[in-house]
């Protein structure tokens, strides 16, 4: 029963993070929040018993965050 409660809380947290990412005007902050989204997704995969998928999500989340930060450094940080 506790596992279902934790999974439900993580899913609600993921929905809230998605809304924050969509409504945020600062692109760098959106990328950092996306990294948190990736971390929560990784936790959810571990809770569901898929450590291989969780490891892949962690690696792809870190690599994509680095690429996004590098791309934002070459452009304007704020969305107009």
| pLDDT tens for each residue of 47-79 | 989 999 999 999 999 999 999 999 988 887 776
Distance in angstroms (rounded) separating the CA atoms of residues 69 and 45: 25
pLDDT at 73 (0 to 100) = 86
| pTM summary value | 0.83
Query: Quick one: pLDDT at residue 76?
Result: 77
Q: Tell me how long the chain is.
A: 80
Say which DSSP state 39 is in: H
- Helix (H) or strand (E) holding 48, with range, is none
């Amino acid at each position: 029963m506790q596992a279902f409660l934790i999974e439900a809380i993580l899913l609600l947290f993921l929905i809230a993070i998605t809304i924050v990412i969509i409504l945020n005007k600062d692109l760098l902050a959106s990328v950092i929040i996306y990294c948190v989204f990736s971390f929560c997704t990784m936790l959810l995969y571990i809770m569901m018993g898929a450590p291989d998928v969780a490891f892949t999500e962690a690696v792809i989340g870190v690599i994509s965050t680095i690429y996004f930060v590098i791309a934002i450094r070459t452009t304007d940080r704020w969305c107009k």
